[in-house]
Structure 1
Amino acid sequence: MGKKPPPGQCNTEDDSECCQEGKFYTTYKCSPPVSHTTKAVLTINSFEESGDGGAPSECDNKYHSDDTPVVALSTGWFNNQKRCLKNIIIYGNRRSVKAMVVDECDSSAGCDADHDYQPPCPNNVVDASKAVWKALGVPQNEWGEMDVYWSDA
C-alpha cells in the first residue's frame, strides 16, 4: 500500500510517478520468459546522482551519466543480479542499441526511500537512460514509454 512521500522526497523527473497514500500497488516476483526477442516496455530513467533513479545502481553502487547507454530491468529479468554489468540489445523504432544492465527496476517493492517513493515497477520493463532513447532515434517529445524487444547480447 502506498505512503505519501515526505516533502521533496519523490523526484518527478522524466514524468516519474510518486506513490499515493492508501493506493494498492501490484507487485511481482517474476517476469515473462526471456527469449531471443523478449517483448518489453521501454521507460526512461536518470541514473545520475540527482536523477529520478534514487539510490546508486545496484550492480556497482555507482551513478551513471544520462549519456551512457545503461538500463534497469524488472525484478524477474534482473534475476538476482545475474545480468549485472552484462549487455543487452534493445530493438525499437526500427533500430537497435546495446546497453549495460546496472540496476533493478524493483517489481516487488516500492513507495519507500530506497525507491524514491515511486510505485513498484511492472514486471516487463526495461528502464533506460536518455542515451538509449537517443540511440533508438526516438524524438525527445515521444520519450516516456515505448514497446520494444530485447535480448541478451
Structure 2
Amino acid sequence: MYTTYECSPQVTTHTKAYLTLNSFEKDGDGGGPSECDNQYHSDDTPVVALSTGWFNHKRRCHKKITIHGNGRSVEAMVVDECDSTMGCDADHDYQPPCPNNIVDASKAVWEALGVPKDNWGGLEITWSESDA
C-alpha cells in the first residue's frame, strides 16, 4: 500500500519540486507512451512528466516550463503525467505512485542543468511556467 495524492503544491514563479530521471523512449523506464500525445519521446529532447496535481487533467500538455537547478535553468515541454494516484502496473513500469512534487525529466534536462551523470536521479529544483 502506497500513499497517493490528488493534488500538488500551488504553482508559483519558483515552485519547489524534486527532479527525477525518466526515459520517455519506447522500452524506457517510463512505461507506456506519453499521456499528452500517446507518443514516445527521445531522451535527447528536454521533456518532463509532472505529478498528477500539476499535470492538472492534461491542462499543461505541450506547455513549456522552466526548470531551475544546479545554478542553471532549462526549458522543457510537458508531455506526460507522473501518476500520483496509481502505480505498480505495466502502464507505470511497476513503479509505485509518484509523490505530489515530482518533475520527472529526460536525460536532456539533466544534461542542460549540468548535473554530473553520477548524480542523476534526484535533485531539489524550482520550476515555473514559461511565458509562451
Task: Classify the TM-score, shorter chain.
Answer: over 0.9
2:44 matches 1:67: yes
Alpha-carbon distance in structure 1 between the residues aligned to 2:112 and 2:91: 29
Q: Which of 1 and 2 has higher RCO (CA within 8 Å, sep 6+)?
A: 2
2:104 matches 1:127: yes
Q: Find the residue that maps to 1:77 and give its secondary structure.
A: helix
2:31 matches 1:54: yes
The aligned length equals: 130
- Say what the alpha-carbon RMSD is for the aligned residues: 0.4
Alpha-carbon distance in structure 2 between the residues aligned to 1:90 and 1:45: 15
Alpha-carbon distance in structure 1 between the residues aligned to 2:2 and 2:106: 25
Higher mean displacement: 80-89 or 112-121: 112-121
Any unmatched runs of 5+ in structure 2?
none
Per the TM alignment, residue 113 of structure 1 is displaced from its structure 2 partner at its CA by: 1.4
Q: Which structure features the higher share of strand residues?
A: 2
Q: Which residue of 2 aligns with 1:81?
A: 58
2:90 matches 1:113: yes
Give me the identity figure in percent. 73
Q: Find the residue that maps to 1:27 and give its secondary structure.
A: coil
Tell me the amino acid that sits aligned with residue 96 of structure 1. Answer: S
Any unmatched runs of 5+ in structure 1?
1-23
